[in-house]
Amino acid sequence: MKSWWRPGLAVLVLAALLALGWALRPASPASRLKLYCDDLGRGCPLGPGASLRTSAEPSALKPFRLQVSGIADQTLTARFGMSGMDMGPIAFPLARQADGTLAAQVILPFCVQGRRDWRLWLDGEAGRVEVLFTTS
C-alpha cells in the first residue's frame, strides 16, 4: 500500500508558503501616497479634508508637535528618515485628541552628514503617506 503522507505534506508546505508570501506582500500602490510639503508649520494637505501641521519649524534635536487632522484612522505612527540613510527604529505613535486630531510630541534625529532633506512616514490603518520636506 502506498503512503500518501509525503505528497500531502509537500502540498501543505507549499500552500503555507504561498499564504505567507501573500500575507507579506507590499501594500497596493493605491494605499501609498507621496507628497512634498514646503512649510510644515503652515500645514500641508494630505488628501480631501486631511492635513498635517507642526507647532514649529522642524529642526534636529528640537521637540515639536506633529498634528494630523481630517482622517478616520484611530491609530497613526510617525517615523522620520532620509533617502538612503537609516535613522534608526524610532517611531512616534500619534494619539487621538479631544478635538478629533491625532498628535504627538516628536523630534527629528540628528544627521551627522548635515543633510536637510527629510522624509516623514505616516503609517495608519488606511496605508502609508510619505511626506518629503526640508529644514533650514
Helix (H), strand (E) at residue 12: helix 5-23
The architecture (CATH level 2) of 27-134 comes to: Sandwich (2.60)
Contact 118/108 with Cβ under 8 angstroms?
A: yes
Integer CA distances (angstroms), 58 to 14, 33, 35, 135, in order: 49, 21, 17, 6
* pTM higher than 0.85: no
Q: Give the domain ranges of the chain.
A: 27-134
Which residue ranges of the chain lie beneath pLDDT 50? 27-31
Burial environment of residue 131 by CB neighbours within 10 A (0 to 12, 13 to 18, 19 or more): buried
Instruction: Give me the pLDDT at residue 39, please.
Output: 92
Instruction: Give me the pLDDT at residue 3, please.
Output: 74
Please state, as a whole number, how many other Cβ atoms lie within 10 Å of the Cβ of residue 91. Answer: 13
Residue 82 per-residue DSSP state:
B
